[in-house]
Chain A
Amino acid sequence: AQSVTQLGSHVSVSEGALVLLRCNYSSSVPPYLFWYVQYPNQGLQLLLKYTSAATLVKGINGFEAEFKKSETSFHLTKPSAHMSDAAEYFCAVPRHGGANSKLTFGKGITLSVRP
């Protein structure tokens, strides 16, 4: 079964700095990978989705992620952090088959943005 690993539980950046949140998937190439964001006391919002159509995926709010098979990675980046980006970020992969079947989530990374 597919799984993902998110390194580190907390990342702190200054406003305007690069955001890099790491995610590695288990060895077999997944058909789909997702990044979700969760603001306090809210549900999960989809940031972007990898579907094998393109290795560089652009999402909402200026975020993007690059799928690298050689590194089994799908890291999330944003060139310039904004205070409103402070939230928890989850990488996820479908356990089996289709995009929405039984998602397995990473532990999540809390992003703090310093003024």
Chain B
Amino acid sequence: KAGVTQTPRYLIKTRGQQVTLSCSPISGHRSVSWYQQTPGQGLQFLFEYFSETQRNKGNFPGRFSGRQFSNSRSEMNVSTLELGDSALYLCASSSRGQGGEAFFGQGTRLTVV
């Protein structure tokens, strides 16, 4: 079974630009969550999607948004990039059953210059 695939693996953007990151979950998984990982703040929850609907949202500004498609693939978008948005962005997929743990992708390393 293929794992969670995130593309691209690395990205360099300039302040003020916007970026879109992609996540393909494990086949059959309908829940996708996104996390931001930085040295200072650690791992922080961004949002969760299930069946194309946002179910949970973390404490991030509106510049961070996401969506999920009918095939469960998800994208997250960050607009008006700031230097502080530099981070590893991790996507996790799960079956969303009560015992269904999250499986993580390798992440997208975003650097804002």
**B-contacting residues of A (Cβ < 8 Å)?**
31-32, 34, 36, 41-46, 49, 51, 90, 92, 95, 97-108
B94 touches A100 (CB 8 A): yes
User: How big is chain B's contact interface, by range?
Assistant: 20 to 34
B107 touches A43 (CB 8 A): yes
B100 touches A100 (CB 8 A): yes
Given contacts A43-B4, A95-B45, A103-B45, contact A49 B101 (CB under 8 A): yes
Residue numbers in A under 8 Å from B42 (CB-CB): 105-108
**A-contacting residues of B (Cβ < 8 Å)?**
4, 6, 31, 33, 35, 42-43, 45, 48, 55-56, 58, 90, 92, 94-107, 109
A105 touches B90 (CB 8 A): no
A98 touches B97 (CB 8 A): yes
Given contacts A43-B105, A44-B90, A46-B103, contact A101 B43 (CB under 8 A): no
Query: In the bound complex, what is the Cα–Cα distance between A32 and B100 (angstroms)?
Result: 10
Contact of A102 among B6, B45, B109 (CB under 8 A): B45
